[in-house]
Structure 1
Amino acid sequence: MRRTARLLTGTAFTAVTAALAAAPAYGGDPGSLSVYPFTAVPGSQVTVNTAGCGQRGTALGDAGAVGAGTFALAPSTHKGEAVGQFRVPPSAQPGTYEIVARCAEGDRQLKGDLMVALNAAHGQVQPRGSLKTGVGGALGPDPVQTAAGVAALAVAAAGGTWLLHRRARGDGI
């Protein structure tokens, strides 16, 4: 049994090692869209760049998901990268949005993510506190009612235990 387990474990380890060795190792994927900063607040400027459109490639970016519309990516001096910028609208809601760019040459589409966070400087804060739903909670706001409920449960538990004990002894009820 142990021999079979070792054989299966060794085979699985070899298969995983071979799969990882065959996978390409990229420092940066030339087919992706880099978004800086990854996390932005409403009203801030975001820079997008890619090396996926070729040495002198240009692209048309689309930040419509976050409400910023389209923007142009033009060739830059950094190793054949195309760079563009857009501003996150002040009305943008917190969340993760997909930014897309289409290369001018060819039919290539590149994607990247932008996370919009709350801006505490402009009064945007995460809500806190309770919500009045009408359902109520396990512990009410009145400590006297809570104590009375706990006492009633304790009396019911003690009475039930006493009755079960009597029945087990054969005394009846």
Structure 2
Amino acid sequence: MRTGRSLTAAAFTVAATGFAAVPALAAQGGLEVYPATAAPGATVTLTTTACGARGTASVDAGAVGPGPFTLAPVQDSARAGGRFAVPVSAQPGTYEIVARCSGGARVTGDLIVSFAQAGATGPRMPRGLVRSGLGGALGPDPVQIAAGVAALAAAAACGTWLLHRRARGGGL
């Protein structure tokens, strides 16, 4: 038992050391994505203060489509910034954008690509029928409804009879 406690203590020490090192690797400031939600074809601006006043960063936005590019120092600011256009072919979803500063700091930000088209006033909802197998264009079929109700009633009656027989000790 004593060995288990010392192993548990050692595991917690290693875990705590690992977790303490994580903030040292992550940079302060993060990657700001504006707008956070964009439509395919829209222009997105990225900025960060993590790279310092004259720092640059290489950005990997390959998940959403534009590929790698560089954030440059913003004049009269302690920020690095840049822009890219969301490709028209981008699929809706949330994409992580990663920037690595020239000093080694790594920052991330999320971009949400929506259904809306560039310049639209609100989100565009999908339209059309869903082929789920339920219902029909001409309304419900009374014969199919009656057959379904009969099948459910028969299943309920058989189940009740089997449970009653089992409770009386008759077996199955």
TM-score (norm 1): 0.60
SS in 2 for 1:149: helix
Per-residue CA deviation, residues 36-70 of structure 1 (Å, 9 max, x unaligned), is 01111000000000000012112222211111122
Change over 3 Å in CA distance of 1:146–1:81 after alignment to 2:
same
Detail structure 1 runs of 4+ shifted over 3 Å in the superposition. 136-141, 151-162
For residue 113 of structure 1, what is the aligned residue in structure 2? Answer: 110
SS in 1 for 2:145: helix
**For residues 92 and 105 of structure 2, what CA distance do their matches in structure 1 show?**
29
**For residues 74 and 29 of structure 2, what CA distance do their matches in structure 1 show?**
17
Q: Where in structure 2 are the equivalents of 1:67-82 lying within 5 Å?
A: 67-77=65-75, 79-82=77-80
**For residues 54 and 46 of structure 1, what CA distance do their matches in structure 2 show?**
21
Q: Where in structure 2 are the equivalents of 1:10-159 lying within 5 Å?
A: 30-77=28-75, 79-104=77-102, 106-120=103-117, 125-126=125-126, 128-131=128-131, 141-151=140-150, 153-154=152-153
The share of aligned pairs that are identical, in percent, is 57
For residue 25 of structure 1, what is the aligned residue in structure 2? Answer: none
TM-score (norm 2): 0.61
**For residues 83 and 102 of structure 1, what CA distance do their matches in structure 2 show?**
12
SS in 2 for 1:102: strand
**For residues 135 and 116 of structure 2, what CA distance do their matches in structure 1 show?**
35
Please tell me the root mean square deviation across aligned C-alpha atoms, in Å: 3.5
Aligned length: 132
For residue 8 of structure 2, what is the aligned residue in structure 1? Answer: none
Aligned 8 A contact 1:71 1:85 in 2: no
Aligned 8 A contact 1:33 1:112 in 2: yes
**For residues 47 and 160 of structure 2, what CA distance do their matches in structure 1 show?**
72
> Which residue identity lines up with residue 47 of structure 2 in the other structure?
N
Larger Rg, first or second structure (1 or 2): 1
Change over 3 Å in CA distance of 1:158–1:146 after alignment to 2:
same
